[in-house]
Amino acid sequence: MDIRSQISMVFHLDKCIGCHTCSVACKNIWTDRKGAEYMWWNNVETKPGTGYPGKWEDQEIYRGGWEKKNGKVRLKGAGKRRGLTNIFYNPNLPVIDDYYEPFTYKYLDLIEAPQGDVQPTARPVSLITGEPIDIKMGPNWDDDLSGTLDYGRNDPNLQNLTQAEQEVMFQLEKMAFFYLPRICNHCLNPACVASCPSGAIYKRGEDGVVLINQEVCRAWRMCVTACPYKKSYYNWHAGKSEKCILCFPRLEAGLAPACMHSCVGRIRYLGVLLYDADKIKDTVHLDDQELVDAHRDMILDPFDENVIREAKKNGIADSTIHAAQFSPVYKYVKEWKLALPLHAEFRTLPMLFYVPPLLPVMASLKQVDNTEDSKKMNPIAKYWDDNWLYDTSTKELFGSLDQVRFPLKYLANMFSIGDEEKIKDKWKKLMAVRIHRRRKTVGDVSDEKANEVLKAAGLTEEQADGIFYLTALAKFEDRFVIPPAHREQAIEMLDFTGDVKGSTGFGFKSKPKRGI
């Protein structure tokens, strides 16, 4: 057993309201620079949609991630042989137009334009050339299903869905969508690290954050190809690749990453997981249907004495083990088995987990004869007179699961490599928690029924209350359990303080030498 600790995340998609505050927080701190304008280390996509860069999930186009062929797992579009022979020209590199050409507006023209017969306008100009451009694409171009004909319908996750199922998804009155916020997954088997010819990318041992050393990066751009999530970006101005750093300077100071701190919907959870690094190799070699479960099996119980002993042997600090025991991520992923990795079939073992969204399916839409019901209603109350019932009732247990507005297969393609049962299992749990809480707060659900639902979902009452607490009430300290980084020790490791004692002042790393 080779126990390591990893800072990992859970995003609760039911809670995401698609406000992009996370993206803006990240942009303001990290990517508001020349050459980085187009980068969104954190971005929020509307699903169904093609995402950013366009159709990033389709690895037949971008050739990212790992592929299993004849029992061997290797990088799909990079690697030692491919990487070094394609080093003169990377055939699978996305270009700027796959993302979008960054632009701004000539706002000053609104103020400084000379007097004339027409209103001054702020023309869009490219942030690369400075020339006026015709904007063809932008971040979140397909936000909230805008332009669905071009974007939503080209979503790679729609594969395996029948034409009829797709038609249902895109019928105007039945349309449903959800948001998918994405950052770097800080994978356990990162394709970007494996693809970097210069060896500039590495995973930090202590917390698992994947970083690019800007001094060593030689701009071979293989990581951009290799990352199946397209979360490594090439800075065309600096000639370096850049990626999400999980705000490690903030983490080391005990602060939550900016995207998580600013999250309005409070959908984000961050905590430590202990995992067995010896299992990585076996896990990535498993077949698709076993992959998701095996990924979760790598995560170890931080309360297990054996695990604690082994963790200590491996130099994991007591404070980190303590943080792992209170990790909200551990609860969501391992204890409640509610969260799933995004596109586990890329075999990078992503350490960002998602609670699949229930809301688009919670209600089903059916045509009923509701004349009797409407008579009973208060005459002032509004009701739909077109006989379409937006049914949110709990009359039938999990009844709406069988008539979902949102095809199960679609979510299964994203979160469980096509296994619909896994998504259904999560949905049952999410609904069971709701029914259980309805019993407690509204009281129109009988104990018998609520218990039956909990049993069917495989939850105890305490677990259901725990899920409710962490989902709905959790405070800042519950959502972000950040272990101390012990930077004081690390700094002493990097610079031996005795060497420089008495010779340097505040702010100097080298001796402040003076000329004549």
Partner 1 sequence: MEILNNFFLIALPYIALALFLVGSIYRYTHKGYKVSSLSSQFLEGRRLFYGAVPFHWGVFFLFFGHLIAVLFPRGVLAWNSQPVRLMILEISAFIFGISMLIGLINLFIRRYTTPRLKYVTNKMDLVIYILLITQTAFGLWIAYNFRWGSSWFSTLLTPYIYSIFKLQPDISAVSLLPWAVKIHIIIAFTIVAIIPFSRLIHFLVYPLNYLWRPYQQIRWNWGRKSVRSPKTAWSLHRPKNN
Closer to partner 1 by CB, 176 or 200: give it.
200
When the beta carbons of 95 and 380 are compared against partner 1, the nearer one is 95
Which of 31, 42, 189, 320 touches partner 1 (CB under 8 A)?
A: 189
CB of 198 to partner 1, least distance (A): 5
198 binds partner 1 (CB under 8 A): yes
Query: Of the listed pieces 91-99, 292-300, 448-456, 508-516, which binds partner 1 according to CB under 8 A?
Result: 91-99
Segment 315 to 374, residues that bind partner 1, using CB under 8 A = 315-316
Among 182, 203, 331, 409, binds partner 1 (CB under 8 A): 203
The neighbour count for residue 512, using CB atoms within 10 Å, is 9
Q: Based on CB atoms, which residue is closest to partner 1, 148 or 235?
A: 235
- Residue 166 binds partner 1 (CB under 8 A): no
Nearest residue to 60 via CA among 79, 46, 73, 76: 76
Residue of 7, 26, 161, 217 that binds partner 1 (CB under 8 A): 217
Q: Which of 9, 10, 184, 194 binds partner 1 (CB under 8 A)?
A: 194
296, 333 in Cβ contact below 8 A?
A: yes
User: Helical H runs in 442-475?
Assistant: 447-457, 461-468
Number of residues that bind partner 1 (CB under 8 A): 52
Closest separation in Å from C-beta 94 to partner 1:
8
| 87 interacts with partner 1 by CB under 8 A | yes
Query: By CB under 8 A, what part of segment 224-263 binds partner 1?
Result: 234, 236-237, 239-240
- 220 touches partner 1 (CB under 8 A): yes
Contact 211, 232 (CB under 8 A): no
Q: How far is the CB of 290 from partner 1 (least distance, A)?
A: 22
Interface residue with partner 1 among 494, 500, 503, 511 (CB under 8 A) is 494
DSSP string computed for 137-200 = --TTTTGGGTTTTTTGGG-GGGTT--HHHHHHHT-GGG---EEEEE-----SS-HHHHH-TT--
Residue 41 CB partners (closer than 8 Å, separation 6+): 26, 30, 31, 183, 184, 231, 233, 242, 243, 244, 245
State the nearest-atom distance from the C-beta of 182 to partner 1, in Å.
20
Diameter over CA atoms, the chain: 98
Distances (CA, A) of 96 to 34, 50, 191, 398: 14, 16, 21, 45
∠510-511-516 over CA atoms, to 5°?
Answer: 135
* 3-state secondary structure (DSSP) of residue 74: strand
The answer to whether 458 contacts partner 1 (rule: CB under 8 A) is no
Does the protein bind partner 1 through residue 68 (CB under 8 A)? no
Backbone angles phi, psi at 43, to 5 degrees: -140, 160
**Amino acid, single-letter form, for residue 43:** N
Is residue 221 within the footprint of partner 1 (CB under 8 A)? yes
* Minimum distance, C-beta of residue 322 to partner 1, in the bound complex (Å): 15
Residue of the chain from 17, 110, 135, 490 that contacts partner 1 (CB under 8 A)? 490
**Cβ-Cβ contacts under 8 Å for 202 (sequence gap 6 or more):** 193, 210, 211, 213
Residue of the chain from 25, 169, 184, 201 that contacts partner 1 (CB under 8 A):
201
By CB under 8 A, name the one of 60, 88, 112, 506 that touches partner 1: 88
Asked if residue 484 binds partner 1 (CB under 8 A), the reply is: no
Considering only 13, 44, 169, 193, the residue that binds partner 1 (CB under 8 A) is 193
**Taking CB under 8 A as the criterion, which residues in 292-321 touch partner 1?**
312-316
Q: Do 442 and 434 form a contact (C-beta atoms < 8 A)?
A: no
Q: Are 249 and 458 in contact (CB under 8 A)?
A: no
Residues 130-159 that bind partner 1 (CB under 8 A): 131
123 makes contact with partner 1 (CB under 8 A): no
Least distance CB 211 / partner 1 (angstroms):
9
Phi-psi sector, 290: left (phi>0), alpha (psi -120 to 50), beta:
alpha
Type of residue numbered 229? Y
Q: 87 or 377: whose CB is closer to partner 1?
A: 87
User: At 67, is the secondary structure helix, strand, or coil?
Assistant: strand
Integer angstrom CA distances of residue 294 from 266, 285, 321, 336, 347: 29, 10, 22, 16, 11
Q: Which residue do the tokens 């039956």 mark? A: 452
Cβ-contact 229, 349 below 8 angstroms: no
Question: With binding defined as CB under 8 A, does residue 93 bind partner 1?
Answer: yes
Q: In the beta sheet, which residues pair with residue 305?
A: none
Among the listed residues 160, 214, 306, 319, the single contact to partner 1 using CB under 8 A: 214
Identify which range of 218-226, 267-275, 396-404, 413-421 contacts partner 1 by CB under 8 A.
218-226
Candidate residues 303, 373, 492, 500; the one interacting with partner 1 per rule CB under 8 A? 492
C-alpha R_g of the chain: 25
Instruction: Report if residue 69 touches partner 1, rule: CB under 8 A.
Output: no
Work out the angle at residue 119's Cα, subtended by the Cα atoms of residues 113 and 121, and round it to the nearest 5 degrees.
Answer: 65
Of 143, 206, 242, 419, the one binding partner 1 by CB under 8 A: 206
The site for partner 1 (CB under 8 A) is made up of: 80, 83-84, 87-91, 93, 95-96, 128-129, 131, 189-190, 193-194, 196-199, 201-206, 214-221, 234, 236-237, 239-240, 312-316, 489-490, 492-494, 496
